[in-house]
Amino acid sequence: MALEITGKLIKTLTVQSGTNARGTWSKQEFILETLEQYPRKVCISAWGERVNELSALQENDILKVTFNLESREYNERWYTDVRAWRIEKQVAAGAVASPAAAANTPPPPLPPEETSFINQQEVDDLPF
């Protein structure tokens, strides 16, 4: 099950690494704060290549993280893992994108004529 969350990068924790039967591994957890009226903090783990992606990010960056959510039982206790598999830095609202990016972005489609605001005023007889 893949889910998405968008939020502000609050903190990156230290990198953990080790060796197992498949070779070496690295893991880094980071804290994301949601952009809701009542923000929530979520601890998300990044493994392998995603650890390198985190090193290029800074606190307060806005991120969109696609993750898998999984719970497992150990000694009659349940543990939940939030594992990122895509981390994308978002352009902050109000920030100006680079001209090259703007040139490659098509303009938004125009609304159909029958649903435009002007035509609706002509059809409606109500003053509000």
Burial class (CB in 10 A: 0-12, 13-18, 19+), 50: buried
Above 90 in pLDDT, residue 78?
yes
How would residue 60 be classed by pLDDT, with cut points 50, 70 and 90?
very high
Highest mean pLDDT (candidates 20-24, 101-105, 115-119): 20-24
Q: What is the pTM of this model?
A: 0.66
Q: pLDDT at position 1, please?
A: 61
Q: pLDDT at position 97, please?
A: 45
How would residue 72 be classed by pLDDT, with cut points 50, 70 and 90?
very high
Neighbours of 31 (CB within 10 A): 16
> What's the whole-number mean pLDDT along residues 15-41?
92
Of 55, 71, 60, residue with least CA distance to 31: 60
Q: Which domains does the chain have, with CATH numbers?
A: 2-93 (2.40.50.140)
In whole angstroms, give the CA distance from residue 63 to residue 88.
Answer: 6
> What's the whole-number mean pLDDT along residues 77-105?
71
Residue holding tokens 């981390």?
A: 87
